[in-house]
Amino acid sequence: MKVLHVISSVDPRGGGPVEGVFSSSEVWFRHGHERHIVSLDPPRAPWVATARVPTRAVGPDGALYRLARPWIPWLRYGYAPRLVGWLRQNAPR
């Protein structure tokens, strides 16, 4: 089975939520399942490239992202215009 997890950020500074996704992904993998992440991070964020689970980042680049800072508790919720299109295109997989 393939499982997609949508999360605001895979930045390790976010703490618990992303660590929970990474840890549970290891369990899913041991049971023969494939898990992927789509995040609202900017595609070039360094933590996306080093994520322990295959991650596709669809968030804004540059100044918009610097304003959002997902590791600040009251700014964790986010929106990325590219997310809806990406989900529509990739949901069949």
CA proximity to 9, closest of 83, 87, 85: 83
Tokens at 19, concatenated = 């660590």
Q: What is the pTM (predicted TM-score) of this model?
A: 0.77
The per-residue pLDDT for range 47-66, each reduced to its tens digit, is 999 999 999 999 887 655 55
Residue with tokens 């669809």: 58
pLDDT of residue 70: 53
From the list 65, 64, 63, 57, the residue with the least C-alpha distance to 83 is 57
Domain ranges of the chain: 2-90
